[in-house]
Chain A
Amino acid sequence: MTQEAFAKFLACLDANTTRAGELYEKIRAKLISFFAWRGFQFAEDHADEAINRVIRKIDEGEEIRDPSTYVYGVARMLILELAKEREKQNAAFDNLPPPIAPEAEADDDSQMRVECLQRCLQSLSPDNRALILGYYQEDKGAKVASRKLLAERLQIPLNALRIRALRLRDKLETCINSGLQQMSRGRSFGANLSPLGKKWN
C-alpha cells in the first residue's frame, strides 16, 4: 500500500483530513470489534487486511459512495475466507491428541499495568476518578443503586453515565498502553503525564 493510495482512501472518507483520520480510526475500531466478536484471534490483523483491500480497490479507480458499508461488505467476504481456513486448521487439529492441560497465559506485565493504572487514575480529575472507580465497584448487589447514585450526583441520565464511563475507560486504556510502552523502553512513566478527563468534565 502506498502513501498516495492511503491518502485517496482518507479523501474518500472526508474532505477534511482531521475528520477523515477520525473516521478511519472509527472504522478500524469497528472492524476490530467485528472480527473479535466473530471469535477471530487476530482481529487487528484482519481489520487491517480488510482496510488494505478497500484501499486497493480505491487505488484501482473504484468509486465508493458509502465507505462504512463497503468496508463491512469486504470484511464479510474476508470472514468467509478466514472461516474456510479455520475449518481446515480445525480439521488438522482434530487429528491431534487433546492437550493435557491448558497452557498458562503469560502475564508478566501485570505489575506494570497496575502501576500504570494508578498513575493514569491520578492524572484524572477528582470527579472523573470518582466516576470511574464508583462505576466499577465490585459489589454486584449494590451496583445498580451505586450507579444510580452516581448519575444523580452528576445530574446525568444513567445511559449518559455508562457512555461516559466507557470513554474514560478507553482513555485510561490508551494511557496505560502508552505507559507500558514507555516503561518497556526503560523510560519513567507519569512524570510528564498530562491530566486526563478534563475534556469530559
Chain B
Amino acid sequence: MELKNYDEQFLTRYLLGEVSDAERAQVEERFFADDDYYQSLLVAEDELIYNYLCGALSPHQRGLFAAQLAASPKRRDKMKFVKDLMTAAAANTAAVTVAARVPAIVTPRDESAATPRSDDERKSFWQSLLAFLSGRNAALQFGMAAALLLIALGGVWMWRQSRTLSAELEAAKAHQHQYEQSVRDAEARATIEQQKADQLRQQNAALNDELKRQQQVRAELEKANEQLIAQAENPAKPTGLTIPFTLEPGLPRSDSEAPRRLYLPRRAAQLKLTLALGSDDGGGKYRAEFSTRGGNLIWRQDGLSSRPRAWGKALVVNLPVRVLRNSEYDLTVKRVISKGAFEDVGSYYLKIVKQ
C-alpha cells in the first residue's frame, strides 16, 4: 500500500482537535471507508508525537497536544514508545560516534594505532576496532572494550534520564499553564460579572430616581388638575387687591381744581367705587358708564341697586383695573326709567394714577 499525499497540515489539525464538527465528521467517515486515509492519519499522529518530543511544535500546538496527552492513555503509550525508539536511535548514534573516536585515544604502545597513516591506508571504524581487538595485549584490549561499553552505557543512561526529566518538566509546565489559564479565565469571568452587576445597580438607581421624579411630576400634575377642576366648578374670586374708593357726584371741576386722584398700586385688580347718590334717590335700577375725557365708553354695568349708607344712598360699582390707564375719566350714573330709557342722576370725575 502506498501512502498518498494527503494534506498533512489538515490531518494534524484534526488530530489536535482544531477542525470544525463538519470537517471532523468528514475525516472520520473517510478513514472508516478508506484504509489509505487511515494510514495517513496514523503517520501524521506518529509525526506529531515525534515533533512534540523533538520540541518542533509551535507553543499553541504544544499546548493542545499536552492537553490531549492528559486525556488519552492511548496516545501516552504511543508517546512512550516513540520516546524509547528515539532513545534507542540516539544510543545507536552515540555508540557509533564513541567507537569512531577510539583510535585517537588508544595508548601509544599499540603501534598500529599510533603510527600515522595516509588517507589511502585509513581503515573503516569496524576494521580498526577488529584490528585493535585482535592485537597482542589481551588484558588491555578487554579493559578498553569494557571501558568503551561503560562509557557508551553511561552516556545512554544519562541521556535517557535527561530526556525523561525534560519530558516530565514539559508535562508539568503544560499542566501548570493550563491551570493558570483556567484561573485567569475564571477571574476574568468574575470581573465581567461584577461589572455587569455594578452596571445593573447603577441602572436600577437611575430608574428609581426617574420613577421618583415621574411620581413628583404626576403628583404636581394631579394637583394642578384638581385645582383646574375646582376652578371650573367654582369660578375663582377675583384675585389681587380690591381698592375701595368713594366718590361724590358733581364735585366741582373748575379750571383751577383738579379732579380727585386715585392711586392704584400695581397689585390692584379691582376698583370698588362707592358712588354717593345724594338725596334725590328715586329707587329702581341704575346703570354706571365709565368714559374717557374724549367721550369713549370703556366700561358699563347695568342692574345696579342703591344701598343705604350712614350718610345716605349709594351705588357700589366693581370696576376691573385692567381697563384703566393713567388718565382722567368721567363716570355717569343713570336711572332706568322704562325699558331702554334712562335719566342721568349724577356725574363723577377722577384721575387714575397707576403706581
Instruction: Evaluate contact between B81 and A173: CB separation under 8 angstroms.
Output: yes
Instruction: Evaluate contact between A140 and B56: CB separation under 8 angstroms.
Output: yes
B-side contacts of A159, CB under 8 Å: 2-5
Interface assignment of A30: CB less than 8 Å from any CB of chain B: yes
Listed stretches B82-90, B98-106, B139-147, B276-284; interface member: B82-90
In the complex, chain B residues 52-88 whose Cβ is within 8 Å of any chain A Cβ: 53-56, 68, 70-76, 80-82, 84-88
Interface assignment of A10: CB less than 8 Å from any CB of chain B: no
Interface assignment of A93: CB less than 8 Å from any CB of chain B: no
Give the interface size class of chain B: 35 or more
Q: Choose among B28, B31, B54, B74 the residue that contacts A143 (Cβ–Cβ < 8 A).
A: B54
B-side contacts of A121, CB under 8 Å: 88
Interface assignment of B51: CB less than 8 Å from any CB of chain A: yes
Q: Choose among A34, A138, A166 the residue that contacts B89 (Cβ–Cβ < 8 A).
A: A138
Instruction: Evaluate contact between A136 and B71: CB separation under 8 angstroms.
Output: no
Instruction: Evaluate contact between A30 and B38: CB separation under 8 angstroms.
Output: yes
In the complex, chain B residues 224-278 whose Cβ is within 8 Å of any chain A Cβ: none
> What is the bound-complex CA distance between A33 and B42, given in angstroms?
9
> What is the bound-complex CA distance between A162 and B184, given in angstroms?
42
Instruction: Evaluate contact between B84 and A117: CB separation under 8 angstroms.
Output: yes
- Chain B nearest Cβ from A65, distance in angstroms: 13
Instruction: Evaluate contact between B29 and A137: CB separation under 8 angstroms.
Output: no
- Chain B nearest Cβ from A183, distance in angstroms: 15
Query: Which of B29, B72, B171, B172 is packed against the most chain A CB atoms within 10 Å?
Result: B72
Closest to A70 in B: B32
Interface assignment of A71: CB less than 8 Å from any CB of chain B: yes
- Chain B nearest Cβ from A25, distance in angstroms: 12
Instruction: Evaluate contact between B81 and A137: CB separation under 8 angstroms.
Output: no
> What is the bound-complex CA distance between A133 and B94, given in angstroms?
12
Instruction: Evaluate contact between B81 and A163: CB separation under 8 angstroms.
Output: no
A-side contacts of B17, CB under 8 Å: 39
A-side contacts of B41, CB under 8 Å: 33
Given A72-B32, A162-B43, do A133 and B89 touch, yes or no (CB 8 Å)? yes
Instruction: Evaluate contact between A132 and B85: CB separation under 8 angstroms.
Output: yes
B-side contacts of A137, CB under 8 Å: 86, 89-90, 93
Q: Choose among B1, B54, B88 the residue that contacts A140 (Cβ–Cβ < 8 A).
A: B54
Instruction: Evaluate contact between B81 and A138: CB separation under 8 angstroms.
Output: no
In the complex, chain A residues 97-156 whose Cβ is within 8 Å of any chain B Cβ: 98, 102, 105, 107, 110, 113-114, 117-118, 121, 132-138, 140, 143
A-side contacts of B160, CB under 8 Å: 114
Query: Which of A26, A27, A169 is packed against the most chain B CB atoms within 10 Å?
Result: A169
- Chain B nearest Cβ from A8, distance in angstroms: 21
Instruction: Evaluate contact between B3 and A163: CB separation under 8 angstroms.
Output: yes
A-side contacts of B193, CB under 8 Å: none
A-side contacts of B55, CB under 8 Å: 140
Given A69-B32, A69-B33, A160-B2, do A33 and B88 touch, yes or no (CB 8 Å)? no
Instruction: Evaluate contact between B4 and A37: CB separation under 8 angstroms.
Output: no
Instruction: Evaluate contact between B68 and A114: CB separation under 8 angstroms.
Output: no
Contact with A along B286-313 (1 / 0, CB 8 A): 0000000000000000000000000000
Give the interface size class of chain A: 35 or more
Interface assignment of B347: CB less than 8 Å from any CB of chain A: no
Interface assignment of B354: CB less than 8 Å from any CB of chain A: no
Given A39-B72, A166-B42, do A136 and B85 touch, yes or no (CB 8 Å)? yes
A-side contacts of B74, CB under 8 Å: 32, 36, 43-44
A-side contacts of B70, CB under 8 Å: 102
> What is the bound-complex CA distance between A137 and B54, given in angstroms?
10
- Chain B nearest Cβ from A108, distance in angstroms: 12
B-side contacts of A113, CB under 8 Å: 80-81, 84
> What is the bound-complex CA distance between A137 and B81, given in angstroms?
14
Interface assignment of B170: CB less than 8 Å from any CB of chain A: no
- Chain B nearest Cβ from A50, distance in angstroms: 11
Q: Choose among A71, A134, A157, A176 the residue that contacts B32 (Cβ–Cβ < 8 A).
A: A71
B-side contacts of A110, CB under 8 Å: 80
Q: Choose among B3, B31, B32, B84 the residue that contacts A162 (Cβ–Cβ < 8 A).
A: B3
> What is the bound-complex CA distance between A98 and B68, given in angstroms?
19
Instruction: Evaluate contact between B81 and A166: CB separation under 8 angstroms.
Output: no
Q: Choose among A39, A117, A162 the residue that contacts B88 (Cβ–Cβ < 8 A).
A: A117
A-side contacts of B51, CB under 8 Å: 140
Interface assignment of B50: CB less than 8 Å from any CB of chain A: yes
A-side contacts of B53, CB under 8 Å: 138
Closest to B75 in A: A36
In the complex, chain A residues 67-96 whose Cβ is within 8 Å of any chain B Cβ: 68-69, 71-72, 76
Top 5 closest pairs, chain A to chain B, by CB = A140-B54, A159-B3, A72-B32, A36-B74, A133-B89
Beyond A137-B86, A140-B51, 10 extra complex contacts between A and B, CB < 8 Å: A30-B38, A41-B72, A113-B81, A114-B87, A114-B88, A117-B88, A137-B90, A140-B54, A162-B47, A169-B81
Give the B-binding residues of A (Cβ under 8 A). 26-27, 30, 32-34, 36-37, 39-41, 43-44, 68-69, 71-72, 76, 98, 102, 105, 107, 110, 113-114, 117-118, 121, 132-138, 140, 143, 157, 159-160, 162-163, 165-166, 169, 172-173, 176
